[in-house]
Amino acid sequence: MVSSSQRRLLRLLCRIYGLMMLAYPSKFRREYSREMALVFSNRARDVVQNKGSWALLPFSLHIIWDWLTTTLHETEIMRKALTVGVTGISSISLAASGFLALSYVAFKGPNDLRPLTGLILFVALSALTLVVLAANISLMWTDLLFLAGAAGLVWLGWSMVERTLSGPHFEGYALVMGGVGIFQGALTLVLFLWRLSKGWSTAVVG
């Protein structure tokens, strides 16, 4: 039996998956998007029913990897779309995280900043992503660093969503920021895996 909080979590994942489908060509989406969305929804529901909410994390990572392998070697248009998407979501995340952090300090004071740990990761990764993309920096160690940060952001976003949906008090901002974190982390993972794969391909060819 799926609880109400798990149903909300499944709806959020289905919306994120719907956004991921935009990476495919329009003809492909017209023919297969409905069936793919239905399969994803049914598989996600089965995972929740049989293994619980936390089992959705490895399931989601597996879906992201499958999606990545089918879109990674698309045309230059795909790379530009990913760059625009990561830049946009990073800007939104940076602005929202900064606003929430300043609001917290204004209302609570600077005495206990531990609740801001998650927002600090949002701010740091978003700011660094914008700088790296604007400066067109592409080094192996920076890309690996961003892969680790993006994976951490997905985990943080997921934990925020899970904690909000399973907790006694519903906090809308935490749910929104958690969803943003999952989406931002996933897009950043895709973009920097793309960059790494292109670097590896160049090294092999060279």
Residues 51-101 have pLDDT tens digits of 887 788 888 888 887 777 676 555 556 667 777 888 888 888 888 887 877
- The label of the residue with tokens 């920021």 reads 177
Alpha carbon distance 202, 206 (integer Å): 6
Band of pLDDT at residue 204, cut at 50, 70 and 90: very low
Angstrom distances, CA of residue 26 to CA of 21, 30, 35, 36, 86: 9, 6, 15, 14, 21
> What is the pLDDT at residue 76?
58
